[in-house]
Amino acid sequence: MKTKLTSVVHRIPITKARINLGQVVRRAHINKEYFILEKDGIPVAGLMAAEELEDYLELRDPKIRSQIRMSTEEYRQGKGRQASDFLAELVAQRTAKTKRGRHA
């Protein structure tokens, strides 16, 4: 007999999600739970497992499929990097861009 998976959707304040981000992400990834993040009771963002997001994006825009395939291949080749390194690079680029804009 087949068991039916039931999707669970949780509505939580962004501040609570931020404090418990590791646990929220783990539940989305492992338990396939969904989270709607709210700011002052207003839904502003959603959180789901990456595989499901990729599936959603492919359905929405088939051209994304090749981008997902490329990124997966790069990851398998060891070209991935730590999120902290990536975020530091983004901050550095933003800072450099801001400084250039002030001197123009």
pLDDT at 80: 80
Q: Map out the domains of the chain with their CATH numbers.
A: 7-48 (3.40.1620.10), 50-104 (no CATH)
Q: 32, 9 in Cβ contact below 8 A?
A: no
pLDDT at 85: 84
Q: What is the mean pLDDT of each run of 10 residues along the chain (104 residues)?
A: 67 95 94 95 94 84 80 86 83 80 59
The tokens 């009771």 sit on which residue? 41
pLDDT at 79: 84
pTM listed for this prediction: 0.56
DSSP string, 28-42: HHHS--EEEEEETTE
Q: Give 12: exposed, middle or buried? Use CB within 10 Å, 0-12, 13-18, 19+.
A: middle
